[in-house]
Amino acid sequence: MSWIKNRPLSVVLHAQLLVTLIVVIVIALLLDLHSAVSAILGGSVSIISSAAFAIIISHHQGYTASGTIRTALRAEAVKVILTVILLWAVFKNYENVNAFAFIGTFILTVLIHSMALFVSDNTKQR
């Protein structure tokens, strides 16, 4: 994702997308179409909010500690607000939602977002 300049966040977004696709395929094979759509929506909520977070972080300029903290707090606030709005929108507008598939996929992708701390920002291999 070229609009995201932060390598760990880019890697995490790709991982979230891959895990969402795997979960959707497994749920589609084991359950029904509404459950698979619910899983897509659950993963999408997390991916969209993580992408918004990554875009804000990627556009950070400046090297002061206060500027970095302000950017991180702004990005996290946008992510939380977007997550709440998207969760509400799905439950409000999709009456056949399978809550287990939806929330399960959402939680799994949220946990993957926290793995950005473990991804090296160094692109050179030793």
User: For 66-112, what is each residue's pLDDT tens digit?
Assistant: 878 888 899 999 999 999 999 999 999 999 999 999 999 999 999 98
Measure the CA–CA gap between 86 and 106, rounded to whole angstroms: 11
Question: Is the confidence at residue 40, as pLDDT, over 50?
Answer: yes
pTM of the predicted protein model: 0.84
User: In the predicted model, what is the mean pLDDT of residues 106-121?
Assistant: 78
Roughly how many angstroms between the first and final C-alpha of the chain, as a whole number? 25
Between 5 and 64, residue with greater pLDDT: 64
Rg (CA), the chain: 16
Cα separation values, 116 from 32, 46, 111, Å: 32, 14, 10
41-73 tens-digit pLDDT: 999 999 999 999 888 888 777 678 887 888 889
Nearest to 116 by CA among 7, 1, 4, 5: 7
